[in-house]
Structure 1
Amino acid sequence: MAEAMAAPRKKRTLILVGLLIVLLAVASSVAVYFYLDARNGSGATDVVEDEAVEPPVPIFVTIQPFTVNLQSDYGDRLLYVGLSLRVDDEQTSAFLNQHMPEVRSRLLMLLSGKSAEELIKPEGKTLMKQQILGLFDDPITTPQPALSIDDVLFSDFIVQ
């Protein structure tokens, strides 16, 4: 008799556990749906805001390639270099193009004091970039507008 009463109770417990699992699955599905729907709604406004902001167009001042004699204990060494300056505004670009002979002269003076051994190494190139940027700390003319030069980019670089 005890077995007869245990069977319906066991059956009822299994049905309750099954219903509980189905209920949890439905509840979690609904929660995930609303969570993803809310996240997609806020993400759509972020995308619209991101698309409205356009990055600034880079401005480059190209310096024609030139050849420089390098200091060396082993004979004649040459550096053939072409570079560009990335600037922030048209005023700086126009000023540098107008005073290009002075810019090239300063670059030639700086680079002719370099040795081939230091320019071959990546650290030497990085140091040279910093020194080229430092060339523009001294005014080219007086008065001179504020120059905003961001970076030095090499287009040609051959040490012979």
Structure 2
Amino acid sequence: MAKKEPAPPLPGSDAKPAGKLKLIIVIAVALLLAVGLSIGGTWLVLHKNSAADEAKSEEAAEGAAPGKQPAIYEQLAPAFVVNFKQDGRQRYMQVSIALMARDEAQLKALKVHLPMLRNRLVMLFSGQDFNALTTPVGKEMLRQQATASVQELAQKEIGQTVVEQVLFTNFVLQ
């Protein structure tokens, strides 16, 4: 039996496999180029946005008041506990307070007068009407009165108001 030899390739059939290979290479290069452009564009946009944010931050820092310092909070511990006699019934109020100031040195100077400050606040709290304190407006009024009282003491003892706000960090009525 004789072996059959494969038929010689036709001149047109040679081009088809090479053409497919060229097509695959062109598609792969185009795909890699598209991915590269996508990554480059994303990086450029993100970098441009971060540069704009940095510029805005710098402008905001320059535009801020030069004398404005960050807030400092001083927690007054232990919490204030006062009692009321309301309609023949004993009632209690517990308030935790934080003082907000901007100058550390002045706040330290005010700490020297902490016993007097606590006394003023206890007297202020114990003189309140229990029913008025059950409303949000009553609580806000008490907070403003406490702020005014602390600022008055600071003005009298140190010569400056020192405390911007008195903040209630816990407020319990029973």
- For normalisation by structure 2, the TM-score amounts to 0.59
Check the 8 A contact 1:71/1:112 in 2, yes or no. no
Paired-residue identity, % = 28
Of 124, 134, 152, the residue aligned with 2:148 is 134
Between Structure 1 and Structure 2, how many residues are aligned?
A: 123
Q: Partners of 2:164 and 2:105 in 1: how far apart? A: 14
Partner of residue 78 from structure 1, selected from 79, 92, 96: 92
Aligned partner of 2:56 in structure 1 is 47
Residues of 2 paired with 1:80 and 1:157: CA distance? 6
Equivalent position amino acid for 1:66 in 2: F
Counterparts of 1:143 and 1:150 in 2: how far apart (Å)? 16
The one-letter amino acid paired with 2:74 is V
**Does residue 152 of the first structure (1) align with residue 172 of the second (2)?**
no
Which of these residues, 104, 109, 116, is aligned with residue 123 of structure 2?
Answer: 109
SS at match of 1:76: strand
Offset of residue 143 of structure 1: 5.3
- Distance in 2, matches of 1:97 and 1:68, equals 22
Structure 2 letter corresponding to 1:76: Q
In angstroms, what is the RMSD of aligned CA positions?
3.2
Instruction: List gaps (5 residues or longer) in structure 1.
Output: 1-39
Task: Note the C-alpha offset of 1:142.
Answer: 5.7
Rg larger in structure: 2
Indicate conservation of the 8 Å contact 1:82/1:157, yes or no. yes
- Structure 2: where are the runs of 5+ without partners? 1-48
Q: In structure 1, how many angstroms separate the alpha carbons of the residues matched to 2:154 and 2:102?
A: 18
**CA distance, structure 1, for counterparts of residue 168 and residue 53 of structure 2:** 40
Residues 8-48 of structure 1, C-alpha deviation per residue, up to 9 Å, x if partnerless?
A: xxxxxxxxxxxxxxxxxxxxxxxxxxxxxxxx8x9567425
TM-score scaled to structure 1, two decimals?
Answer: 0.63
The worse-fitting range, judged by mean Cα deviation, of 110-119 and 91-100 is 91-100
Q: 1:123 to 1:71 in 2, by over 3 A?
A: farther
